[in-house]
């Protein structure tokens, strides 16, 4: 009897104990006010905008540099063809004694031409086309210049020259740098390309056959 009495007594004691609720509110915890959120958002937008602008400029520099190297490789291709006596399928015959060159024209700022100098006059003629190269992405040839021995350079953007031909003929790797309408023999030629954002790169060719890239012309 005492066993059941004690059990009931314990049960009564348990059930009679009230459930203690704890305060789980936000007391003692920190949050953000509207002004703080606006400030953080403004900082985030500013930093992101700066990063995007810098990335765009960096990407633009890379694309312009790649374009300059593409043009330099095209000139090197003409040099290789000229030295290796690459055959050219001319009308009615196949010739192996042809020089090769690259042609730039001020009337076409988004393209240039690889040609075979079939008649040996060291300039481009329309029937000598081998391959045409296009320049995209808003880039274009800003100008090309040529410098004769002992004189100042002549440039396309100032009306000095309207075209530029760089020709290679075996057995020498030297370059013949010419401009149609001028009897001058140039020691060097420079082709400057520009991006829509104004980034410039230049390809410099010397009469010795050396080709180089100038990053800040």
> CB-based contacts of 60: which residues, under 8 Å, 6+ apart?
195, 196, 197, 199
Q: Are 127 and 116 in contact (CB under 8 A)?
A: no
pTM over 0.85: no
CB atoms within 10 A of CB 20: 5
Q: Which domain holds residue 120?
A: 50-214
Q: How many domains does the chain have?
A: 1
Least confident of 32-36, 122-126, 146-150, 172-176: 32-36
Q: Give the largest CA-CA distance in the chain.
A: 133
Alpha-carbon gap, residue 154 to 134, rounded angstroms? 25
pLDDT digits (tens, 9 = 90+) for 128-167: 999 999 999 899 999 999 999 888 899 999 988 999 999 9
Note whether residue 97 is domain-resident.
yes
Alpha-carbon gap, residue 89 to 124, rounded angstroms? 16
H-run or E-run covering 68 = helix 34-83
Phi, psi of 123, rounded to the nearest 5 degrees:
-155, 160
Note whether residue 38 is domain-resident.
no
Q: Which residue has the higher pLDDT, 1 or 119?
A: 119
Note whether residue 19 is domain-resident.
no
Q: Which two tokens stand for residue 106?
A: 């001020």
Q: The domain spanning residue 68 has which CATH number?
A: 3.55.40.10
| Mean pLDDT rounded to a whole number for the chain | 82
Least confident of 1-10, 77-86, 154-163, 173-182: 1-10
Note whether residue 33 is domain-resident.
no
Note whether residue 25 is domain-resident.
no
Note whether residue 163 is domain-resident.
yes
Q: Which residue has the tokens 């790649």?
A: 66
Note whether residue 103 is domain-resident.
yes
pLDDT digits (tens, 9 = 90+) for 12-57: 444 445 545 555 554 555 666 778 777 877 787 777 777 666 656 6
Q: Are 183 and 154 in contact (CB under 8 A)?
A: no
Region 203-214 average pLDDT:
95
Residue 178: is it exposed, middle or buried by C-beta count within 10 angstroms (0-12/13-18/19+)? buried
Band (91; pLDDT cuts 50, 70, 90):
low
Note whether residue 27 is domain-resident.
no
SS3 155: strand
């Amino acid at each position: 009897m005492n066993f059941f009495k004690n059990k009931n007594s314990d049960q009564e004691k348990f059930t009679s104990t009230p459930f203690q609720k704890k305060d789980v509110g936000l007391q003692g915890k920190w949050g953000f006010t509207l002004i703080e959120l606006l400030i953080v958002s403004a900082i985030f937008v500013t930093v992101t905008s700066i990063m995007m602008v810098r990335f765009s400029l960096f990407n633009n520099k890379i694309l312009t540099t790649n374009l300059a190297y593409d043009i330099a490789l095209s000139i090197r291709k003409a040099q290789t063809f000229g030295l290796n006596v690459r055959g050219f399928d001319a009308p009615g015959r196949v010739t192996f004694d042809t020089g090769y060159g690259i042609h730039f024209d001020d009337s076409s700022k988004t393209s240039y031409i690889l040609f075979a100098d079939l008649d040996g006059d060291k300039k481009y003629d329309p029937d000598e086309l081998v391959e045409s190269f296009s320049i995209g992405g808003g880039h274009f040839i800003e100008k090309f210049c040529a410098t004769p021995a002992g004189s100042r350079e002549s440039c396309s953007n100032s009306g000095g020259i309207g075209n530029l031909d760089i020709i290679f003929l075996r057995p020498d790797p030297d370059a013949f740098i010419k401009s149609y309408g001028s009897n001058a023999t140039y020691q060097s030629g420079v082709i400057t390309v520009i991006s829509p954002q104004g980034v410039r790169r230049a390809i410099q060719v010397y009469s010795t056959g050396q080709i180089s890239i100038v990053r800040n012309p």
